[in-house]
């Protein structure tokens, strides 16, 4: 971190002992509170995720990008942080899993950029032991611990006991137990548009957040040095990419859209759920992931959509189908309760939803232009007579990951690519049958 004419921003990484401690709730509450106080707030999510960023975007009112030292890359993370610090008063980075979990971890990210850590501790079943947890989180790495925010405290007296246990660590704030929790689904939080009272709930959380204003204001201002942006050849100049975007196809990194535009592509969006066909004049189609299993009936009845994607495939248009996008192209989609719906039928086979996780973790796709990094997270299995043309590689093990299927100019897999990790490789998926 370096200083300059710009004063910089207050930057903290919100982390915890493990998943389920309330990182997203605390980050959202803090973001909404600061926004209502007139601050410009930017929020990032550490690690692969689609749903938490949607909620955090509602909390702060700005696009939420991903930071990950492996998938996004050190220099891209640095550029994103530098841009945010020049636009905002506060930058919040929500961690992933526990502070030291993963390769790389949220702690690795914090150390790479000198970001202080705000430790969220679920105090619902402890009091003074919170001090031991905080000391362990600080010293194990170690990390620069800005302080603790105690979540799910029972009373002001409970918060004082936690504060008294922290020794030389500041209790920056506390959040009481909430009557209304953020609902969860098998892939995480439900989508923001499905929560009609979400803004009211975020305001309630912001009101309930007890923040030590003096300790918060004492945190340093940081200004990451902005690296020079690498040149990106306009490999998709003059090409139009049709992108499915609705409640069934919503798992889409904002950086992927940025990358396609930097490559020179024009983007057109359409809704299969609304039975909109692939837009006329499209040169390629992108079907991102999402929740097609929650909209099986609507998708099965979307005759215009189904006919148009079959026609686009028959005409040889490059089609990239990621996870939910691939599921929607199968012959059939079957839910755990036995209900099934016909899908577009571009890919032979049946997708069967399960109750247990079927794929998780960072992976990379090999292409002639190098590796495209990304991840996988799904609860379904694709039973198909198609033979995979290759498999992704799991990080860091390097073992085979998700199957990659190709049919003509269609590339389909459970793998979600992060296009900015290799723009040239991403472009190849939309210009020809991928290598």
Write the pLDDT tens digit of every residue in 37-86: 999 999 999 999 888 899 999 999 999 999 999 999 999 999 999 999 99
Let me know: does 222 contact 9? Beta carbons within 8 Å. Answer: yes
Domain boundaries of the chain, sorted by first residue: 9-222, 240-428
The token pair that represents 318 in the structure block: 């490059």
Domains 9-222 and 240-428 share a fold: yes
Q: How far is CA 409 from CA 127, 314, 412, 420, 433, in A?
A: 59, 9, 10, 22, 4
Which residues lie below 8 Å from residue 262, measured CB to CB, with a gap of 6+?
A: 232, 234, 423
Q: Is domain 240-428 given the CATH code 3.40.50.880 in the classification?
A: yes
Residue 51 is predicted with a pLDDT of 86
Q: pLDDT grade, residue 7 (50/70/90)?
A: confident
- Owner of token pair 């959380």: 205
Residue 228 is predicted with a pLDDT of 85
Helix or strand run (H / E) with residue 328: helix 324-329
Please write the tens of the pLDDT for every residue from 154-213: 999 999 999 999 999 999 999 999 876 555 544 444 565 566 688 898 999 999 999 999
Let me know: does 50 contact 73? Beta carbons within 8 Å. Answer: no
Tell if the pTM clears 0.85, that is, is over it: yes
The arithmetic mean of pLDDT across residues 404-432, rounded, is 96
Residue 2 is predicted with a pLDDT of 43
Residue 198 is predicted with a pLDDT of 85
Identify the CA nearest to 95 among candidates 137, 34, 58, 140: 137
9-222 CATH fold: Rossmann fold (3.40.50)
Flag whether pLDDT at 325 surpasses 80.
Answer: yes
- List active site positions: 323
The token pair that represents 409 in the structure block: 């100019």
């Amino acid at each position: 971190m370096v200083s300059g004419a710009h004063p910089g921003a207050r930057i903290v990484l919100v982390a915890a002992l493990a998943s389920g401690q309330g990182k997203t709730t605390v980050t959202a509450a803090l973001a909404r509170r600061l926004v209502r106080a007139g601050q410009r707030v930017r929020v990032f999510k550490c690690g692969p995720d689609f749903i938490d960023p949607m909620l955090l975007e509602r909390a702060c009112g700005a696009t939420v990008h991903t930071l990950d030292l492996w998938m996004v890359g050190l220099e891209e993370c640095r550029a994103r942080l530098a841009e945010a610090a020049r636009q905002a008063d506060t930058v919040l980075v929500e961690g992933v899993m526990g502070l030291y979990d993963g390769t790389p971890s949220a702690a690795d990210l914090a150390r790479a950029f000198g970001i202080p850590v705000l430790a969220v501790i679920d105090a619902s079943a402890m009091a003074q032991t919170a001090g031991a947890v905080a000391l362990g989180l600080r010293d194990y790495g170690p990390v620069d611990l800005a302080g603790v925010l105690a979540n799910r405290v029972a009373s002001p007296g409970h918060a004082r006991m936690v504060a008294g246990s922290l020794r030389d660590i500041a209790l920056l704030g506390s959040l009481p137990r909430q009557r209304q929790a953020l609902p969860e689904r098998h892939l995480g939080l439900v989508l923001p548009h499905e929560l009609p009272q979400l803004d009211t709930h975020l305001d309630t959380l912001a009101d309930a957040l007890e923040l030590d204003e003096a300790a918060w204001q004492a945190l340093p201002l940081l200004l990451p040095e902005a690296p020079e942006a690498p040149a990106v050849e306009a490999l998709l100049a003059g090409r139009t990419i049709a992108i499915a975007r609705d409640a069934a196809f919503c798992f889409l990194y904002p950086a992927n859209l940025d990358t396609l535009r930097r490559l020179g592509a024009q983007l057109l969006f359409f809704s299969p759920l609304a039975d909109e066909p692939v837009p006329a004049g499209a040169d390629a189609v992108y079907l991102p992931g999402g929740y097609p299993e929650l909209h099986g009936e609507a998708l099965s009845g979307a005759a215009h959509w189904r006919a148009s994607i079959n026609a686009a495939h028959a005409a040889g248009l490059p089609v990239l189908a990621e996870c939910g996008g691939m599921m929607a192209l199968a012959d059939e989609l079957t839910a755990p309760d036995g209900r099934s719906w016909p899908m577009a039928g571009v890919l032979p086979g049946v997708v069967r939803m399960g109750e247990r996780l079927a794929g998780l973790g960072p992976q990379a796709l090999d292409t002639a232009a190098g590796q495209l990094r990304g991840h996988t997270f799904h609860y379904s299995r694709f039973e198909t007579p198609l033979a995979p043309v290759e498999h992704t590689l799991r990080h860091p093990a390097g073992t085979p990951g998700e199957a990659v299927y190709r049919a003509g100019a269609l590339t389909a897999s459970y793998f979600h690519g992060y296009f900015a990790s290799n723009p040239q490789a991403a472009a190849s998926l939309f210009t020809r049958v991928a290598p």
